[in-house]
Chain A
Amino acid sequence: MADPASTPLGKMLLEEITPVVMVLCTPYVEESCLKNGLSLIQLLSPFCDFTNIDVPVRTASDQPYRLRKFKLRLFYSSDIRQPNLEVAKERLKKVITHVGEKNFLESSDPSQVNNLLPRPESEMLPSWFQFFNKELVRTLSFSDHEAFDHPVACLLVVSSKDDEPVNRFVDLFNTNKLPSLLNDGAMDPKIMKHYLLLHDNQDGPFNKATKLLADMRNAFGQNDCQIICFNSSQDGKIHHQDNPWAPFKSDALPTENLGGFLNLDDLNEIKDFMQELSSKHIIPYMEQKIRVLNQQVSATRKGFRNQIKNLWWRKGKEDTIDTANGPVYTFNSIESQIRILGDYAFMLGDYELALSNYRLISTDYKLDKAWKRYAGVQEMMGLTYFLLDQSRKDAEYCMENAFNTYLKLGSAGRRNTTRCGLWWAEMLKTRDQLKEAATVYFRICGEDTLHSAVMLEQASFCYLLSKPPMLHKYGFHLVLSGDHYKKCDQIKHAIRTYRSAIPVYKKTTWSLIKDHVHFRIGQWYALLGMYDVAVTHMLEVLASTHQSKTTQELFLRDFLQIVQKTGKTFEVLKLQLPVINISSLKVIFEDQRTNASAAAATVKESLWRSLEEDIIPSSTARSNWLELQSKIMPRKYKESNICVAGEALKVDIEFKNPLQIPISVSSVSLMCELSANPEEDANSSNNEVQNNEDRTSTSSGDINSCLILSEVDFSLEGGETTVVQLTVTPRIEGILKIVGVKWKLSSAVVGLCNFEFNPVNKRVVRGRRKQHSPSGDLKFLVIKSLPRLEGFIHSLPEKTYAGDLWPLVLELSNQSKFPVKNLKMKISNPRFLYAGNQKELNADFPACLKKKMNVEKSGRHANVNKTLQNLYHFPEDISVQEETSLSWPLWFRAAVPGNIPLYITIYYEMEGVSSIMKYRTLRMHYNLQVLPSLDVSFQLSTRPSRSQEFLLRMDVVNKTSSECFQVHQLSSVGQQWEISLLQPVDSILPSQSLFAGQSLSCFFMLKDRRRSSTSEDSIPSLSHIQSDVRLGPQDNSEAFFDVSSSPLADFHDCERSSQGMSSQGCEYKVDFVFITQLLKGNSDSSSNTPLVFSHHACDCSPSSMSPISWLVDGPRTIQHNFSAPLCEVNLKMTITNSSDAIVSVHINTFDSPSSNNQLIDDATTSQPPEHQSGWSEIPIVNDTKIITTEALTTRVPKSLSLESVPQFIWSGTSSTELVLQPRSTAEIPLQICVFTPGIYDLSNYVLNWNLTPVNDGENQGEANKSSGVCQGYPYYLSVLESNFKD
């Protein structure tokens, strides 16, 4: 640091801490001066600043030094008082407002922090800070605790026009008019006086004035009186180059000619006067005063003795004076004298002397607890240290001390704190301690919000300028400052500071900060009425997902308000609300593949393609269909998508509301461009481009006529995501390009979103054509309008019960002007749906299903072929004429429960309409929900006696929750089986209806007609066949449903094929169809046609259970006298092999209940063992008891538990093995021994059977089950005690 005096602070101090000259003048003086547009002080001020005065000064020391710079401050006596606080504040506010206005217009946004930094310091730091600081410091002038503002001299000015000028001089220095400082004893009223006579040359000749001067010299002394003649110019037209008064008259208008009457001589005269005043009068006076005071101080305070005395004296004084601000010091008190000495020395540049005096006095003040004075002295000490450029630490310590002391004083020292802080901060800045300076600025902030704002802004600049720059702090302090400005209604300043902070926070992820800054700027711009700028800032905060709900509401509401105030609809390219998920973009368009419904479009293309494989002409289906048209179509559009004029393109876009509050979005539509196909009319490539561009512009002009765009309105709840389908319908041929989407938020702001922005993530549904150029994805070649079939299946239920059988009508309508023909249809799932005959269209349902006598059986086989291929060719003569529709019957049966997708594709050709497309397909997709209805299971078992007859057990469980089914009939498919009920239905199910959750078991007798017919030796006619059994009301005359004719037979075939069965019935296999009805009346009153449900069971065969059957035969009741040792019972078991293989059977009998099989049997039958033991415990005669015990003893080793043991044992062989030839029967004798009377269950035996593998591979299915175990079935034997003895 070169010279402290040349630093900003040094300059400021040399300007501010200078001798004050009090000016007293008469009204005539002012009048003369005002001719020049200046007051007296303004007139004199330019000449008070001496940059090279070169006066020798000798203060306390004997060594004189030369004073180079000197300045006088002139004040009217009326201004020498403490400025009014309110006025000062008002003036400062005006300064700030003025600067605010000016800077606001000039300011440009510094867009980047990096751009901000390399600029020179002076450029960055607003110049008005200096000015403001100076003004702020000046509000504190003339305080009583500091002496440097006390007038050093008094300049009395009287005009030569005044009457009796000498008397006027006396009057002027009237104590009544003098400032309070002189009167209340704060300073010495005996002040150096200088008398000046001002002569206006316009008023009269100079000689009168010289005479007056002589009078004055007589009265006031030779040296103290002087005369100035001015206004020598008569016309007032003198124009001064670089006007010296301009800095002193800030409110001067530029047109005003200051000093117009002053010619060069006048100026020189004034200049000389001022120089003489300062060098010959003021400086010597101050020198002298310093010397006098210094002697005084040395005498009383310097030296060891004086110090001791002072200490002692101070202590004694302590209890006498103790006011709040410490003792009151008058000008002649030694403390004031020392202070004056210090200040004078300071002003004359003798800093060493000043410092020693300040040090001396500061201890005194401290002891006296005169804190304000103490702080003032500390402050001066700090500044003196600074100017001496000695100990930096001391300087800072003193400043901090002063600052803290002022701070302790509270509101009284508030402004002093500010001044001290400013000086301190300046000092730190000079020493490049910018961080500390910023802290000081921050500490200055106090009650006055406006001043705080400026201080904070200065602090922020300190952070910016510090090395390395502390940008975070810079931003934060700017924001703080902005908030303070806002509190004082300095909105322009607030915006300016916030805007400066934007570069700092531009890329920040501290979301709350970013939102806050942008929201505030937006708000404030709105307050200023600059809505356009406000909106751009508000847009930044719109999609703030992290904010709370109320904040989001606030943001959105304010935003909408501002937009409303602008009075126009904004178009915003990147509106964040709602968020568009570009990757979700899905374009659905139809070329030759058309969709009947939106659902069909969502199905995977590969699925359709596999379905359509058979029906699309092979030549086009195999190769890329586009190749065929390569001659016609321009090469560059070879890969572009094709759509048909008049047909809508659908675009699915996902909108997401990122906020927690609902938003309303309206008028969502696509932005499209339709241009003419350039290949059609272009001759040369140059023209082509030209034309294309022209057309683009024109077609977008009359876009309404060429394109039909759909508009969608919706509202989104907080966090909701919705997919919106937008459509565009081109009406003429050309090239259609989807550019983007636009929408209106809360019917105020229009948001635009260009799809091109993010083309990589796009997904076009027709996945086959992966585009090379992303822009091609949304480009479509629009071709001439073509016929398009609309397909619809009437009354296809969405939800139904399994087994539901129902006729449907497929309606195909052709809206175009051209007929279509060659229709083909393919259904993905023929179990559920197949095409009927056209004549069935108007058939009465369900009556058409019923048996009729004249049914043609021949038609059935044709149907079989057709349904198996899933492909239905419409008859050749069928075509859909222009503007008509075709209805075709379909049969529907819900085969299995579950969610069933149905895919139907209809192929058709059109003639001579377009060369590009010869055929189209219509794709239909339905989803069915099939609920389980009845669970039907069949169990077939051979009757043991007759193998041609079977016992059929049908178990039906109603699995629905509410429906009530009416059982109707059970039919066996084919003609070889005769079925009959074992017992009337009335006994099982009196109501004939099966309620929800109810189950039903029915037993039927099934007869193999072929077997029986061979025995009867007669071929049965069809009429005799009893293959149906009515389960419904017996008296009902309703006919049976015909299971052998379409559609039941067809569905049955489908069932068979789907279950993997061959269509040829096997000998012992039987298929059943169980038909129930559901009266629809209870759910839907409009029609009471019963719904028909059919349940199919295929390939029920007895052999699937077990190849063997057996019968235990023997006496059921035996009377035996148990006085005989035991009772033997002989039984006979007849085993039949009903299979076509050789079976080896192993019969195991067991007595032990611990056997596993027995236990299981017990558990399943859940019969308590004591029931089996019968009444064996009851003794009838005494002697039997012995036998019983005897019998018991024999059994005890076998089992520990008495109750669980059967009261008989198997005698004879316990294990028998035999081999049965196919379809043969064998008999095995069995024997048991019974010891007590009772009822015995002879089921504790097991038949293990083993199939010997067959040589011929006919019955592969049976070979799978080659062995098994059969539990014995209960056979109850009653053994009674015979009463009579033989």
Chain B
Amino acid sequence: MTSTACFIIVSRNDIPIYEAEVGSAAKREDAAQLHQFVLHAALDIVQDLAWTTSAMFLKAIDRFNDLVVSVYVTAGHTRFMLLHDSRNEDGIKSFFQEVHELYIKILLNPLYLPGSRITSSHFDTKVRALARKYL
């Protein structure tokens, strides 16, 4: 388990639709917004990189000091962004893949409007469990 990890799902319109601090470190008030800043800034890099590869997992694409941003882009250009300080790439990849499955399940829900906020507590629980498992 990494000490810092912030997971955000960004819709294709650059709107965060799901946010979770999944790190084990004690939560700091200003850390949350720094994480948002870093991830938000990394969107530029994702924009560049997403079209250069056919892989969904873009690996670590950006870093800020010791925080690394790993990104996974779905076919619908929804971006899973993980800010972390660990180097466990395989774990992160598995994490993204499993979250992708969960996300597809959310999309299959006829009551879920794609691009809207994911409020399902079930999803949240699952994502956190995955984070514990892989990160």
Q: Enumerate chain A interface residues (CB-CB to B < 8 A).
A: 463, 470-473, 475-477, 479-480, 508-510, 512-513, 515-516, 548, 550-551
Contacts and interface: CB of A to CB of B under 8 A. Distances in A.
B36 A510 contact: yes
A512 B43 CA distance: 16
A447 to B, nearest CB: 14
A928 B45 CA distance: 67
A911 B41 CA distance: 77
Given A516-B33, A550-B29, A509 B15 contact: yes
A472 B16 contact: no
Contact of A551 (B29, B41, B43): B29
A508 B29 CA distance: 20
A513 B37 contact: yes
A546 B47 CA distance: 27
Contact of A513 (B40, B42, B44, B45): B40
Contacts of A463: 44
Contacts of A470: 44-45
Interface string B34-56: 00111011111100000000000
A471 B36 contact: no
A472 B43 contact: yes
A513 B29 contact: no
A1032 B36 CA distance: 81
Nearest to B39: A510
B43 to A, nearest CB: 5
Contact of A508 (B32, B40, B44, B45): B40
Contacts, number: 42
Q: Which 10 A-B pairs have the closest CB atoms?
A: A476-B41, A470-B44, A512-B33, A509-B15, A512-B36, A472-B44, A516-B33, A472-B43, A472-B41, A473-B41
A471 B44 CA distance: 7
A550 to B, nearest CB: 7
Contacts of B40: 472, 475-476, 508, 510, 513
12 contacts: A470-B45, A472-B40, A476-B37, A476-B38, A480-B37, A508-B40, A509-B15, A510-B36, A512-B32, A512-B36, A515-B33, A516-B37
A78 B87 CA distance: 54
A515 B45 CA distance: 24
A1226 to B, nearest CB: 72
Given A472-B41, A512-B33, A516-B37, 7 more contacts: A470-B44, A472-B43, A473-B44, A475-B40, A509-B14, A509-B16, A510-B16
Given A472-B42, A472-B43, A509-B16, A548 B37 contact: no
Interface residues of B, number: 15
Contacts of B32: 512
Contacts of B15: 509
B134 to A, nearest CB: 25
A contact face: mostly helix, strand, loop, or mixed: helix
Contacts of A510: 16, 36, 40
Contacts of A508: 14, 40
A550 B28 CA distance: 12
Interface in B1-45: 14-16, 29, 32-33, 36-38, 40-45
B56 to A, nearest CB: 21
A551 B33 CA distance: 12
B33 A513 contact: yes
A513 B43 CA distance: 14
Contacts of A509: 14-16
Contacts of A475: 40-41
B38 to A, nearest CB: 7
Contacts of B29: 548, 550-551
A509 B10 CA distance: 10
Contacts of A480: 37
A476 B62 CA distance: 13
A510 B41 CA distance: 11
A509 B12 CA distance: 13
B42 to A, nearest CB: 7
Nearest to A477: B41
A476 B38 CA distance: 7
Nearest to B30: A516
Nearest to A479: B37
A550 B29 CA distance: 9
A475 B42 CA distance: 11
Which interface residue of B36, B38, B43, B44 has the most chain A CB atoms within 10 A? B44
Contacts of A516: 33, 37
A442 B116 CA distance: 35
A653 B98 CA distance: 47
Contacts of A472: 40-44
A1068 to B, nearest CB: 62
Contacts of B38: 476
Contacts of B37: 476, 479-480, 513, 516
Nearest to B46: A472
A796 B42 CA distance: 69
A149 B134 CA distance: 57
A479 B44 CA distance: 16
A854 B14 CA distance: 90
A460 B41 CA distance: 11
Max chain B Cβ within 10 angstroms of own Cβ: one of A510, A515, A516: A510
A473 B29 CA distance: 22
A627 B33 CA distance: 63
A480 B16 CA distance: 21
A407 to B, nearest CB: 15
Contacts of A551: 29
